[in-house]
């Protein structure tokens, strides 16, 4: 069962990815251009092949029509490389929600679902 927590507008800027999470106590959610519901998470990779040892990207989890079951995901490319995890989280967390929505729609455009389920394809040689 869900729990209603009133927003704490002193915790950050609710118009950014990180601020929304801080204010509302949950990740931001969007309707993708495919009509599905998505929530967003910032993922930090500490073994990124780039100019710095830490990199971050956005992971968008696609939810079932009822909202209780994850049905898949799309993700962005790396959005930021930095020397520390805190730096990449701060930078990507400051991304406006409107930019996150644009990145979600771009990721949906790039995603091509497999022609058959993984459990059938895994039997191929």
Instruction: Return the ∠ at Cα 113 (arms to 35 and 115), rounded to 5°.
Output: 130
Q: Tokens at residue 107, please?
A: 């990721």
Domain definitions of the chain by residue range: 17-121
State the Cα–Cα distance between residues 25 and 83, nearest whole angstrom.
27
Q: Are 95 and 19 in contact (CB under 8 A)?
A: no
How confident is the prediction along the chain (125 residues), in pLDDT tens digits per residue?
566 778 888 888 999 999 999 999 999 999 999 999 999 999 999 875 666 889 999 999 999 887 688 888 999 999 999 999 999 999 999 999 999 999 999 999 888 665 666 676 677 65
| Its pTM surpasses 0.75 | yes
Distance of alpha carbon 30 from the chain centroid: 10
Residue 79 neighbours by CB under 8 Å, 6+ apart: 56, 57, 58, 91, 92, 95, 103
Q: Are 41 and 63 in contact (CB under 8 A)?
A: no
Which residues is 99 bridged to in the sheet? none
- The radius of gyration of the chain from alpha carbons, rounded to an integer in Å, stands at 16
pLDDT of residue 44: 94
Q: Are 17 and 97 in contact (CB under 8 A)?
A: yes
């Amino acid at each position: 069962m869900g729990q209603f927590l009133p927003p704490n507008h002193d915790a950050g800027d609710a118009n950014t990815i990180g601020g929304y999470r801080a204010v509302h106590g949950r990740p931001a959610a969007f309707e993708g251009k495919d009509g599905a519901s998505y929530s967003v998470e910032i993922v930090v990779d500490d073994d990124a092949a780039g100019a710095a040892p830490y990199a971050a990207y956005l992971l968008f989890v696609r939810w079932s029509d009822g909202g209780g079951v994850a049905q898949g995901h799309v993700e962005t490319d790396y959005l930021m490389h930095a020397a520390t995890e805190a730096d990449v989280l701060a930078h990507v967390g400051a991304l406006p929600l409107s930019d996150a929505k644009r990145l979600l729609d771009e990721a949906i455009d790039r995603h091509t679902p497999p022609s058959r389920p993984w459990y059938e394809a895994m039997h191929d040689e």
